[in-house]
Chain A
Amino acid sequence: MINLNINQKSYEVDADPDMPLLWAIRDLVGLTGTKYGCGVAQCGACVVHLNGEAVRSCVTKVSRAEGKKIVTIEGLSKNNDHPLQLAWNEVNVPQCGYCHSGQLMSAAVLLRENPNPTDEDIDSAMSGNICRCGTYPRIRKAIHLAAELHKKEGGTK
């Protein structure tokens, strides 16, 4: 049994220690917000936070996550009101929406580290996330907007 702390809740999972965290979260814990896109660290659909760091859960062994704090898209905010979530809604970013759990989790780390990102900062932080629907121009716009919202809120989130 492996103990996982996800979104501040603890779960016991009966997983092969080599199983990628992605499948433990999706199939064993049943949180399906984290997505499978490629399985080989190419697309970013599976990004979660591990002790505050953005990692690709498709190539992170579940054993590596034991004892660490895992945050998935379901735990990004309580009421869907993280500045990024508000901005995503305002700018109508998602199309099919499949990539956006990962996009948001990558962007959240960017904003925390760099509350005032330039276009170049956004490009380098977000270039690991593929969006087949081509929502990139709106992702960029929404990250700028979220940075502003964040400032207005006094950076509490």
Chain B
Amino acid sequence: MSTNQVSRRDFLRVSGLAGTALCLGFYFPSSAKEAEIVNTSGVPKSEVELNAWIHIDTDGKVTIFNHRAEMGQGSFQSVPQIIAEELEVDLKEVNIILAQGNREKYGSQITGGSSTIRGSYKNLLKLSATARIMLITIAAKKWNVPITACYAESGHVLHKASGKKFHYGELVVDASKLEAPKEVVLKKISEYKLIRKPLHRQDTPLKTNGTAIFGLDKKLPGMLYATVERNPRLRGIVKSFDASAALKIPGVTKVFKVRMGVFNTFREGVAVVANSTWAAMQGKKALKVEWDDSGFEHINTTEIYRRQQEDLQTKEGLYLKKQGNPDDILRQEGKTIDVVYQTPYQSHSCMEPVNCVAHYQGDKVEIWGPIQAPEWVQDYISGQLGLPKEKVIVNMTFLGGGFGRKAFMDYPHEATMISKEIGAPVQVVWTREDDATQGPYRPGISYRCQGAIHNGEVTALKFRMSGQNNDHWRGGKTDQANRSTSEGFLKPYFDSIKNISFAEVQFETPVPTMWWRSVYASTNGFAYESFLDEVALAAGKDPLDLRRQYLQDERCQRLIDKMEEVSGWKKRKKNEGFGAAITECFSSTVGQIVKVSKDASGKIKIDQVWAVMDCGWYVNPDIIRAQVEGSIIMALGAATIHEITFKDGLVEQRNFYDYKMPRITDIPPIEVHIMENDADAGGVGEPGLPAFAPALTNAIFDLTGKRIRKLPFDLSAV
């Protein structure tokens, strides 16, 4: 029975089983936005699925269920840091368990859109404050004093006057019988002891001695290993295959055809099962497969961009937003600019290649893996196999990177089908080559940007993009503009520039595409923020002044002040190039300034990057700094080092030798500043990425007068 079908009264009724622990959870009403907190202690499992988020036992031990994946962004640290604050316990007393996929228990679990904290912090604060109040209430009752005479600290409730105290463990039995109070008062920011402090990450020790268990580290008794040869053209089916050579490899036990879902479609491959990863990899190499990919275009990169850019000259596309009449203004007034920007396909290339363990057992299947969206996997596999949802158990391990790739359901589905075929637990390992050549990818996009300038003022902006729409893979409507067409563009511009439009000129290929860190902002940001630089210069304005003028919003103004202050923007010297860019992503705004100069040999070098992050309310400043540093380095790679290209339908890059990564030698000094305010929390894991590429190319223009409109470009060849 799902909680949605249980009336609130039923849910709150605490049965006679109460009294072994205090468990609090959320009730997610389908209509209301805010989750309701309920005492779930002792609610019999058969009646209501226990939806505990916080669990305090009679020893005072606190266990929390982290509903989101830990893929490097620090949810493993940030979530407990929030809970320990309002619960008044020491961080080291908090045990974290990675929750299984379960939409009814945890609501949305998809770790994407930088949503872990911004989507749940208010609930988490309220939840832990509620537990604290319940414990204080019981202590006050035992001492027969008013609640206000007591307070909580380090896992104890204390009586102010006498100094008497109870350990939380001594109170949970009675507290578990209370109904959760409806209203609780939360701490002010100035009262925080843990939140906003750069506390050490709790998962670091596990990640320095080899004990952290990633998907690839999961082992089950009797587990076999599998690799899969999938259609190199990314789509289609297996026509025939010859397994004879593969089966001769020692350790290879079985070879068969496997079909996996790719959202609303599917593709096929040939699985090689063996007793070690190595044998499975050797077996895969020995396979001979004939493919049938008829009906799917064999694409070429040059053709992709030719078509996109031709369409951008001739088609208006579907409008996402339009205010005023940019077309009229562009026809009438003064100076106009009309340019095209181009951004590449990119691979996520998580350090941990895609992999998954599945154990199919007839009436149920259990899955372990680096999974960003456990409840999606649960839904999808239960649908594909016709199993009830509770018979599909999805466990998240640590993720060796995610960046969007591990929110796809193809690999858990494939692993499940292989386990089903062999009747044993199996780990399916994607080789690095599979990971690089099989996608899904960030889509490559072309942008046409037009602007009008009259009397030094920006009077119209017209943006069109042409590139694949990720939503189409998930059944999104094809008669509507991509809703991410204006992602990254700051909203206050709509107030100050009267004529603006955003449109999508649709473009399809057979290549599967998927969110890539910061999604469309990662490419939109380059086009729109480069273009504003061009517009500023055409209008005879300083690029940062232009932003200041048109971003009439207090937070933006402060952000720009900070950017100027930390970078010395106004004091820049002649032989230095400075570039600025400001982008919005998942409710956070990030401004970056890049400084470049020429080295002795005349080559461009990046001297410094300053990033200013305004993410509103936040948890851990050091995690934010780390995420912004990492985002900038990922952006550096995507702007200047690597891209995915296609030839005759085949991906041309295979491994890190031809899809090269930034290395320690490529990294400029990065300084990250965080704006202090208590606005609603925005994202942290992704918003640091989009502003980097335009800030860099704007800086290069400032120094050299060369405008870079196509990514990636070779920094050493500018």
The chain A residues found within 8 Å of chain B, CB to CB, are 15-16, 19-20, 23, 26-28, 30-40, 42-43, 45, 72-74, 76-77, 80, 84-85, 88-90, 92-101, 104, 122-123, 126-127, 129-140
A26 and B353 alpha carbons, distance in the complex (Å)? 15
Contact B630 A95 (CB under 8 A): yes
Contact B276 A134 (CB under 8 A): no
Q: With an 8 A cutoff between CB atoms, is B209 at the interface?
A: yes
Instruction: Work out how many contacts link A and B, with CB atoms closer than 8 A.
Output: 184
Contact A98 B665 (CB under 8 A): no
Contact B212 A97 (CB under 8 A): yes
A26, A34, A96, A137: which contacts B629 (Cβ < 8 A)? Answer: A137
The A interface, classified by DSSP as helix, strand, loop or mixed, is loop
Contact A92 B200 (CB under 8 A): yes
Contact A96 B210 (CB under 8 A): no
Contact B667 A137 (CB under 8 A): yes
Contact B225 A27 (CB under 8 A): yes
A72 and B664 alpha carbons, distance in the complex (Å)? 23
Which of B208, B631, B632, B634 neighbours the largest number of chain A CB atoms within 10 Å of its CB?
B208
Contact B655 A100 (CB under 8 A): no
Known contacts A23-B276, A127-B665: A133-B352 contact under CB 8 Å: no
Contact B656 A96 (CB under 8 A): no
A35, A126, A133: which contacts B664 (Cβ < 8 A)? Answer: A126
Which of B250, B656, B664 neighbours the largest number of chain A CB atoms within 10 Å of its CB?
B664
Which residue of chain B is the closest to A74 with respect to CB atoms?
Answer: B210
Contact A27 B352 (CB under 8 A): no
**Chain B residues touching A, range:** 35 or more
Q: How far is the CB of A51 from chain B (nearest CB, A)?
A: 20
Contact B432 A80 (CB under 8 A): no
Stretch at the interface among B322-330, B385-393, B396-404, B444-452: B396-404
Q: With an 8 A cutoff between CB atoms, is B261 at the interface?
A: no
Q: How far is the CB of A48 from chain B (nearest CB, A)?
A: 11
Chain A positions within 8 Å of B664 at CB level: 122-123, 126-127, 129, 136, 139-140
Chain B positions within 8 Å of A138 at CB level: 626, 629
Contact A85 B630 (CB under 8 A): no
A26 and B622 alpha carbons, distance in the complex (Å)? 33
CB 8 Å contact bits of B429-459 with A (1 = contact, 0 = none): 1011000000000000000000000000000
Which of A72, A74, A90, A92 neighbours the largest number of chain B CB atoms within 10 Å of its CB?
A92
Contact A33 B214 (CB under 8 A): no
Chain B positions within 8 Å of A126 at CB level: 664
Contact B349 A132 (CB under 8 A): yes
Contact B210 A39 (CB under 8 A): no
A11 and B667 alpha carbons, distance in the complex (Å)? 41
Chain B positions within 8 Å of A140 at CB level: 664
Chain A positions within 8 Å of B669 at CB level: 137
CB 8 Å contact bits of B396-439 with A (1 = contact, 0 = none): 00111110000000000000000000000000010110000000
Q: How far is the CB of B181 from chain A (nearest CB, A)?
A: 36
Chain B positions within 8 Å of A38 at CB level: 432, 655-656
A90 and B665 alpha carbons, distance in the complex (Å)? 23
Contact A33 B209 (CB under 8 A): yes
Q: List 27 A-B contacts (CB under 8 A).
A: A19-B276, A20-B278, A23-B277, A27-B276, A28-B276, A33-B210, A35-B400, A36-B216, A37-B351, A38-B656, A40-B656, A73-B208, A95-B72, A96-B71, A96-B402, A97-B212, A98-B400, A98-B401, A100-B207, A127-B664, A131-B351, A132-B350, A134-B667, A136-B664, A137-B629, A139-B664, A140-B664
